[in-house]
Structure 1
C-alpha cells in the first residue's frame, strides 16, 4: 500500500516531505526558543527560520494547484508551470541565502555553521528540484492517459 501511495500520489507525498523535513532539520539545529524570538531576531544574513517557511509556502501553492487540476489540466500547463515557477524562485532565494550564510561562515551568535544547517539548505534545494521532476512526470503520465483514451479501437483494422 505504501508503494502504491508513492507511485500514484508522488506530489502529495513530496508536499508532506517538503513541509516536514526542513522544519525538523531547523528544530534540531537551533536551540529551543519560541517562534516569536526567531522572528524578532531575524537577519537575512544569519537567521535560518525563513527556509522552512519558504518550503511550506512552496508546498501549499503546489498542493493547491494540484488539487484544482484534474486529468486534462494536469497534462497541460498550470500544474507544471506553477510548480516550476515556485520551485525555481525558492531555489533562487535559498541559493542567495546560502551565499550569505556560508560566505560569513558563522551564525548570528557567532557559532560555526553545523552540518544540520548545511543539510537544511541541501534539503530545501533537493525538494525544489524534486517538485519539478514530479510535476513533469505527473504531466507526462496524464498526457499518456489522454493519448490512450483517444485511440479508437474499432477504427484499427487488422
Structure 2
C-alpha cells in the first residue's frame, strides 16, 4: 500500500480519509523531515481525491508571509501575506477555512482561474507553532464540507506528533 497513490473517490469521504490516514502513517513511518512529509501528503491527498491544486504554503516570516511549498497541480502563487485571501486568512486566524464559492470570498487570490471552491487548514508543529497552511482547490463549487475539514485536520495532525 505504501508504494502507490490511491484513488479514493469511490468511497464515502469518512472512509476515504480513514484509508488515507493509514497510508500516510505507513509511508511516513520513521520520517522526521517536514518538507518530505509535505511533499508526500500533497501527493497522496491530490491523487486520492483528484483535486485541482493540493499543497502547502510555508510560514517564512511568522505572522507576515507564507511561501509556496511542496504541492501538486498547476503553478501556485509564490507568496501570500497573512490576512490576504483564503490561505492568509487561515494563517492569521489559525483556523480551517472552507469556501464553497471562491468568487464570494472577499479578497480571494486567484492563482488558477479554474478554482471554484477551496479549503485551507493550518498546520502546526509539536510546539504548537504555525509552520504552514494546507490548501486544496477544486474546480467544482461546494466541493468541500465538514467531512473534509475533519479528515484533513486529522491527516495534518501528523506534523504535531
Question: Which TM-score applies when normalising by structure 2?
Answer: 0.27
Q: Which has the higher contact order (CA 8 A, sep 6+)?
A: 1
Name whichever structure is richer in strand by fraction.
2
Name whichever structure is richer in helix by fraction.
1
Larger CA Rg, structure 1 vs 2: 1
